[in-house]
Amino acid sequence: MTGGPNYKEATPALIICNRNDNSEDTEGNCRIEICPVSNHECPSCRGKGSLSGFCCGPEVCMKPIVMPCRLCNQTGWITDAKMGWVIRGRAMRTARVYGQVYQTLRSAAKERNISVVDYSRMEQGIIEPD
């Protein structure tokens, strides 16, 4: 087989490439199987895979920067399961900030006995909320 599978033409999804003797199609590419998982455009980067912004430091201010998207791991797409994490994380933040009693991120994390970093990642949908 020359080259590799052409992933750019495949729809964004979980792709399985079988590399046994019977896996080549007539054009010499790997057969691509799309897993039955719906994908959503990443709500953080809106499908771009990266986030743009400005950096200010002691010597330079308003320097444009591009950072990789942590939510979709630079793919621009997230699975149904990950989208569920995002929705639950947003609900957690809404309840924490706009609930009957305002809670800081630190106090909410302490109440759950987890680190502030993990609680923040849960609210962002990066890790699964419990």
Of 73, 67, 79, 10, residue with least CA distance to 41 = 79
Alpha helix (H) residue ranges in the chain: 80-98, 105-112, 116-124
Cα distance between residue 61 and residue 14, in whole Å: 40
- Burial string for 57-80 (b: 16+ CB within 10 Å, else e) reads eeeeeeeeeeeebebbeeebbbbe
pLDDT value for 24: 44
Domain ranges of the chain: 1-36, 41-124
Q: What is the pLDDT of residues 82-126, one digit of tens each?
A: 999 999 999 999 999 998 888 999 999 999 999 999 999 999 999
56-75: average pLDDT: 86
